[in-house]
Every structure is written in C-alpha cells, then in structure tokens.
A and B are shown apart, each in its own frame.
Chain A
Amino acid sequence: MFKNMSYKNQRKIIIIAFSLIPVILLFTFAYLPVINMFKYSFTNWNGYSPEYKWVGLKNYRTIFTDPKYFTVFKVSLYYFVATFVQMGLALYFATILSFKVRAGNFFKGIIFFPSLLNGVAIGFIFLFFFKPDGTLDTVLQYIGLGSLTQGWLLNPNLINISLAGASLWRYMGFNFIIFLGAISSVGKDVYEASDIDGANKWHQFCHIILPSIKRILQLNLILGISGAISAFDIPYIMTGGSNGSNTFVIQTIDVAFKYNKLGLASAMAVVLLFIVIVVTVIQRLLVKEGE
C-alpha cells in the first residue's frame, strides 16, 4: 500500500507517526494542565470538590491588593544575587578546566556532582551542614575561626544567604557543564593563533572565549533569573518557608494545599508565569541594545 504512495506522502505519514506519541504526551502532561490552570484561576475551586463557581477576576484582585502575597519577592532578591555569583564561579571554573589542568576530569566530576543529586537529599545534607555544631561549625572551629559559628538558619539576617548558598552549590554544576561544552567548541587553532600574536590567558578569555559563548551566557542567565524568581526546593525542604525564608512558590503551594484555595493558587501561578515572561523579555531587550 505504502509502495504506491508518492515519496512526499510516505514522508508525511512517517513524520506524523513518529511525532504523534510525543505530541500527545506533551499535550496531556504539559499544555492541558496549563490550560486548566488558567481556567481554575477564574474559579473558587477548592481542589477536590466536583463543583466550583466562576468568580471572574476576584483571585487576581486579591493577589494585587493584598501586600502579603508580593512581599515575599524580597526573598527572591537573595537568590537573584546568588545567580550572578553562581554564573561567575561556573564561568571561572569552566574556563580554567577548559585548559590543560592536572586531574582536570576529577575536578569536573566534583563540580558537576551536586547536579546529579536529588533535591531532597541536598536539603537534608545542608540541614546537617548548618545545624549548631554541625559540619560548618565543626570546620570553622577546626581552622580556628570558632568565633564565627552561629545559628546559620536561626539568624533571620543570615537564613536567606545560607539557603541561597545551598542552592548555589546545587545548581552551579549545571551552568558549569554548559559553559564547559560551549568553551570546548572553540577551535584549538584560534588559541594557537592568539598565542603567536602574544595574547595571555586573560586576553584569550576576554576576546576569544567570552564572545564565542555569549549566547550560552545569555541562556544561562535567563534560566538562572527565572530560577531565582521561582526558588522553591531548597527552602521548602529545609525550612518550609519559615523564619522569613518564604518564597512565592512556597506560598502558592500553601494557599493551594493548606487552605484549599486552588483557584487563588492557580491565579498566583499564572501571575508568576507572566512575571517570568516579562523579566525574560526585558532581559532580551537590554542585551540586544548592548549589541
């Protein structure tokens, strides 16, 4: 049957047959829930009842009029700052390890390792790390900085820095591996040519590496910043959002499952989605202007 079809038609059938299953999966598990989320955001659904009422824009009005829903974005600033530190460190290590270094692969492994760990495990590791007389305090005492030990999570001025530090550790490896991949795609001949021209490593970094990984750098920044806005797993597992470490996503979960306001929580999720889109667009525009 297929033998008699034209090549064009055969190709069409093959393409459809191959993409059907992934598209169905994508639609059922990604787009359908999002569409439903938009729908629920206009209702007062409680999350389990078969009935709900349409309440129009009431949920959105609640979010934008009650300051308690937006003040938590202050916490995101800590993760925002940490994102830049994270990028800087990842870029630094990626650059160094892209040159010939003794035991280079070993260090690459060590830096990438946290990305392979489960977020819950990392949360518990860092709970022990920050405990009074835990790992961090012990190390500080050992190197004679015992006077610096304190309640790393207890101190409300430190807690977000501690948590942002933990999430930096968790996510840096991922940025690092992407940078490393991008850097290693630069041809050896370019370095050789610059060596002949008398460039040192710093010149090479500024004029060869940076320009050739610019796109990847932007991508990582976008991922990092949207990650900072929607910071969730580390603070949720370690503190549950208490002691001033609450983030917008934790709050959304609380509203949905502690207070059975799934409609309001959906509206919060929609708002977050738009904030991330807006921030990404702004970032794109700023970068474009610089070009």
Chain B
Amino acid sequence: MTSRERVLAAIAHKEPDRVPVDMGATPSSGISAIAYSNLVKYLGRDDLPVQIYDVVQQLAQPDMSIIDRFGIDVLDIGRTFNTQPSDWHETVLANGDKAFYPVWFNPVLQPNGSYHCYDTDGKRLLAMMPKGATFFDQSYFPYVDGYPENYNGLDEEMGRVLWSRYVHSPWDHAADPGFWEQLRKNTLHLRETTDKALMIVCGCNLFEWGTFLRRMDNFLMDLLCEPDQVARVLDQLLERHLATLEKVCEAVGDIVDIIRFGDDLGMTTGPFMDPDTYKMLFKPRHKQLCDYVKSHSQMHTFIHSCGSISSLMPDLIDAGIEIFNPVQTNAVNMEPEFLKKEFGQDCTFWGGGVETVGTLNNGTPEQVREQVLQRLEIMSAGGGFIFNTVHNILPDVPPANIVAMFEAVKEFNGK
C-alpha cells in the first residue's frame, strides 16, 4: 500500500497494511520549534533549518527527510509555500537555538524580554509572547464590549485577530494575486511527486471564532444570555467559511484527501458547554460545513477539538465529522478503550497514540514504547486510527522519546 492508500483505508475502516502515522500535517498534530530543534540535533541533522511555519503556536515544519525517516504518511499542502530561503528570516528560540520566521512576521522585542505584535498603525497591540513562553497570546478582542450593530466591519476585525493576521501557510499567501491557481498548481505538483495523503488545514472555527471576537468568558456567557446574538454572529462566520470552502473545493477538492476544521469544545472534565447548547447553536452549522465539503469534493472531514468531548461526539458524527483529533485520552470519559468501543465504528481517531502529559515528556523511552504498543493494540483494530501524539509535541519532550515512539510504531507494524 502507498501512504495515501493506507490513510484512506484507515478512514474507510479497512485495516491497512500498517497503521498510518502523522507528525506535522496539522497545527495540532505537529511539533514545537524547540522540540524539533532538539530532535534534529539529536539525529545529527542540525544542518536542517528550524522553520516556524505556525508562528502563533511556534510550530516547526518538519523537513521531508525527517518525514521519510519516521515513515509519516500524510502532508500538509501548506508546505508547498515559503519554500525558498528568502521566504524566511532568522530568529532565536527561547532555548537560544537559531530558527526562522516567515519574512512577514516581525514581532518587536520589549525591554522585559517579551515580544509584541502591533497593528499597522503601530499602536494597537494584537498579540504578545511573554519572556520564556512558547506561544503568542491574543491581546485584541474586537467585540469584547459587545456585539456590533452590523457586521460591515467583521472582515477587518477578524484580520486583527492573531489567528488570522499571523496565520500559517498556505493562508499567509491568500491575498496574493493568483493564490487559488497557485494553490492548485502546488497541490497537483505535490500529488505527482509524493504518494502520501494530502491535508488542507482550513479552520472554519465557529465556537472558537466567537471566543476570539468576544473573549472566552463573555462568549461562554453569551451562549446562555444572548443566544440570538450568538446565532447572528455564527451566521456571519458561516457565510464566510462557506465562501472559503467554495474556493477550496474548487481549487483542490479533487486532489486533497482530508480537510481539517478546528473548534476546541472540551476541557479536561467535560465539554465547555451543555450538549443541548451545542446541538442548538453549533451542530446545524457544523453540518452545513460538512455537507458542503461532501457534496463538492472528495475530501474527508476532520475536526480538532481538545478535551473531553465524548458527550458531544454523537452529534458531531451526526453533523458529518469523520475524523477526530487530538483524542485527548487523559481527559474524563476519553479512555482509549471506551472511545474505540463506543465510537470506533463511526469515526476515525487521529491522535491519542501516546500521552504528551506524563509519558512522552517525562517517561523513559521504554515507557514510551510500552504505551505506544498498548495504544496501537487498542486503537488500530479494524482501521479507523491514524497514529499521532495527543496534541503537539511541546518543548519538554526529549528527542530520545520521539525516536522511541516512532520505533515502537515500526515494531508494531512489523509484527
């Protein structure tokens, strides 16, 4: 089987020749710049540049040689942009290592060691990363004081939210003339030159955009106090997301295999909201996104949601979501056995392969191996599983454990 056939077989719940693997195809199944820098040094490949393609989350784009070395089966089509050294400029990581930012990203170092990002007026603070932190935080919330009368200014305001302003590739090129043609061209070229499955990361976040616009605390209260306003803003967002999907489906819907949406609906103890609230406000809109993709492309639908979401999963599946990530198995009611038994027939798990809180960061390579083998045993039966860590590999993960993790996958696949 080729990598692509393997991934597609798993999604179709046919047991593939071996369990497919991801690292780096999405910004929630990837590796942080510091962890990646440590990894390439450990592998004796410190000639490889550490390119921070997702600057907000400080994630590195793994080099093709690393992807091949670990037998990774899927690629983000965003990696076909910013391929020239001149697309990058040098920066320094919190651990002192050299790395690269896309040329358009120029945060300003403050006397206290933090980094700030300002709006074009040079005054409005949009995002900041405290000294020693490894993540840019949102500083500007457009509708923190209340909903606007009309949404004429929504596009502009969305553009001031860090997730949009400093978005990863390919979207950092979305405003370039001829972008959609270029995207198609690049994706076709990728399809011709690799046998890996292809992913497009296309947020379409609904709940999260509400929290970006209103701030988390306000938006959570709005769900109960102002459901009409929530519905109104969600419709505005949906309209924009559907317009994007139309272009995506047209440009690459016949080439790309998986489209990734995002919406963090869970915390450790349960979902952020009552399942009834999800059903009323979000489910119908998630369904519209999924329906559109299904009727206009060959792509499979994937959602990233952290936390304990098993109580929402029946509705998400019903809305048309086929693949779940990062499968936060350490959250309440998210035990791998339970998930596989309860939902294994109806969806694919993309993640949950090893705990990033505990085992991968603090365990020994042998403990990593044991957990990986155990998870593979539970999750891979009958397909429906793509091996990946629970969320991104953070700076605290030692490279020896990353290697042990991939070795264990190989061991399992070889048996």
Partners in one complex: no
Interface residues in chain B, defined as those with a beta carbon under 8 Å from any beta carbon in chain A: none
Interface residues in chain A, defined as those with a beta carbon under 8 Å from any beta carbon in chain B: none
